[in-house]
Amino acid sequence: MIKLHDKCFKPFISAKEIDAAVSKMAKDLANDLGDEIPVFVGVLNGSFMVVSDFVKKYPKPCEVTFIKLASYEGVKSSEDIQRLIGLTQDLTGRTVVILEDIIDTGKTLQEIHRIFKNEGVKQLLIATLFYKPEAYKKDFKLHYVGIEIPNKFIVGYGLDYDGLGRDMPEVYQIKTTQHMTNLVLFGPPGAGKGTQANFLKEKYNLVHISTGDVFRFNIKNKTALGTLAKSFIDKGELVPDQVTIDMLNAEVEKNTDANGFIFDGFPRTNAQALALDKLMESKDSQINAMIALEVEDEVLVQRLLERGKSSGRADDADESIIRNRIKEYYTKTAILKDYFSAQRKYYGVDGFGSVEAITERLCNAIDKL
Ligand code: IMP
Ligand code: MG
């Protein structure tokens, strides 16, 4: 991920893919043009990089020149007529190929057609490396298109965002969901995860996704995913990660206006952590932190025994069962602590003290993300 001015961009098209597209355009044009010596016309500023690479790959003699379109000074409306800088050469009777970095609405292309109408060229061909079909509003033919892309803003390989990014050899796409806070909440039994998750979701407008709750909800409501999950559970098998991920995906999609998510009970394995990273990436987002409530074993045991007096949960009543659950938690989560530490995303928070004091510590950690 990279940041230019106020916006974040993610890797989108590699230098290798660009190279292949430029090669193909050069080859197709050379085949179609035969022995004709074309004049390639780059439209500045964006096209400088593609033109440079293109002509190096063009296998036959050619001419290269550049033009630039500029708005008349003082005119700022979007419908303004542009004037041309740089066309000094006589193009009468020549085959002219406009080389564009990107065609978006087609407005620039319309100006180019208007300008070249009176040049007496033999033919005017349009070639563009990138093309956004969903954004294109004109009907001028595009003779050569390198790569079709969705209608999202890109930078790199000549293209800029407010002056920056032109120099990058690969292309990045704008990230549409920014400022998301996605947390993985961890803590041994009795650490107060549920209590704290309730505070955090209110304060930060987050959606609390407890995998256990999602499973129970889907199974109870007999959703397709619930039925699938139940078929494994009934056979005494673990629910495959992909089924859980599909459920989480559905939960994330349901809550598009949330500021982020608190994942609780997932991931539990390295593979699940990787799958969750991939899911968040597909949403233009990421896990920001694993927050683990750290509480001494003796305190946990006391808290759970206390809870057992009123909760009626059998596993809260027996001290040796409690100690086993705590031990199991540390054995199972060590792997995840390593996973998130390696990404510098592990935050241990002291879970000893009053509920308010712990909430404050959690908020301090989150506010610093
Ligand atoms: P059009 O006139 O709408 O086709 O767009 C023309 C110009 O807008 C291009 O030459 C670029 O300078 C700019 N542009 C359009 N889309 C993008 C983009 O995704 N990234 C950077 N510049 C863009
Ligand atoms: Mg351009």
Residues 196 and 142 in one domain: no
Annotation marks residue 323 as catalytic: no
The mean pLDDT of 115-143, rounded to a whole number, is 96
Residues 137 and 20 in one domain: yes
Confidence of residue 30 (pLDDT cuts 50, 70, 90): very high
Our mutation pick for probing the ligand 1 site, out of 104, 136, 173, counting the most ligand atoms within 8 A of Cβ, is: 104
* pLDDT higher than 60, residue 13: yes
Could you read off the pLDDT of 307-333 as tens digits, one per residue?
Answer: 888 877 777 778 898 899 899 888 888
Residues 265 and 210 in one domain: yes
Supply the pLDDT for residue 334: 86
* pLDDT higher than 50, residue 77: no
Residues 87 and 236 in one domain: no
Supply the pLDDT for residue 116: 93
pLDDT above 90 covers a percentage of the chain that reads 63
> What is the layout of strands, in order, in the sheet containing 144-148?
82-85, 63-71, 39-44, 95-103, 123-131, 144-148
Residues 170 and 188 in one domain: no
Q: Strands 7-13, 171-174: parallel, antiparallel or unpaired by DSSP?
A: antiparallel
141: CATH: 3.40.50.2020
Residues 136 and 226 in one domain: no
Residues 362 and 233 in one domain: yes
- Among candidate residues 220, 254, 313, 332, the one labeled active-site is 313
Residues 199 and 325 in one domain: yes
* Residue-number span of the structural domain to which 87 is assigned: 2-174
Of 4-18, 19-33, 254-268, 307-321, the one with minimum mean pLDDT is 307-321
Residues 163 and 206 in one domain: no
For 266-270, the CB contacts below 8 A with 24+ separation are: 266/184, 266/209, 266/211, 267/184, 267/336, 268/332, 268/333, 268/336, 269/241, 269/335, 269/336, 270/335, 270/336, 270/339
> What is the layout of strands, in order, in the sheet containing 260-264?
206-210, 260-264, 183-186, 289-294, 346-350
Annotation marks residue 201 as catalytic: no
* pLDDT higher than 60, residue 178: no
Supply the pLDDT for residue 180: 80
Confidence of residue 79 (pLDDT cuts 50, 70, 90): low
What is the spatial distance between Cα 124 and Cα 94, in angstroms, rounded to a whole number?
9
The mean pLDDT of 174-194, rounded to a whole number, is 84
Supply the pLDDT for residue 70: 77
325: CATH: 3.40.50.300
The mean pLDDT of 142-168, rounded to a whole number, is 96
Q: Are 246 and 225 in contact (CB under 8 A)?
A: yes
Q: How many domains does the chain have?
A: 2
Pick the last residue of a domain from 174, 199, 225. 174
Supply the pLDDT for residue 283: 82
Both tokens of 72, joined, read: 């008349």
Residues 7 and 37 in one domain: yes
Ligand 1: residues with CB < 6 A are 46, 102-109, 153-155, 159
Residues 121 and 165 in one domain: yes
Ligand 1: centre distance to CA 296 (Å): 58
Supply the pLDDT for residue 308: 83
Residues 204 and 95 in one domain: no
Pick the last residue of a domain from 174, 193, 208. 174
Ligand 2: centre distance to CA 25 (Å): 18
In whole numbers, what is the pLDDT of the chain averaged over residues? Answer: 90
Give the residue among 292, 265, 272 at the shortest CA–CA distance from 209. Answer: 265
Residue written as token pair 């978006």: 104
Ligand 1: centre distance to CA 311 (Å): 62
Confidence of residue 71 (pLDDT cuts 50, 70, 90): low
Of 38-52, 170-184, 215-229, 318-332, the one with minimum mean pLDDT is 170-184
The mean pLDDT of 148-164, rounded to a whole number, is 95
* pLDDT higher than 80, residue 115: yes
Ligand 1: centre distance to CA 106 (Å): 9
Annotation marks residue 166 as catalytic: no
For 208-214, the CB contacts below 8 A with 24+ separation are: 208/261, 208/262, 208/264, 209/248, 209/251, 209/252, 209/261, 209/262, 209/263, 209/264, 209/266, 210/264, 210/265, 211/244, 211/247, 211/248, 211/263, 211/264, 211/265, 211/266, 212/265, 214/247, 214/248, 214/251
Could you read off the pLDDT of 231-288 as tens digits, one per residue?
Answer: 988 888 888 888 899 889 888 888 877 789 999 989 988 999 999 999 988 887 899 9
Confidence of residue 76 (pLDDT cuts 50, 70, 90): very low
Pick the last residue of a domain from 124, 140, 174. 174
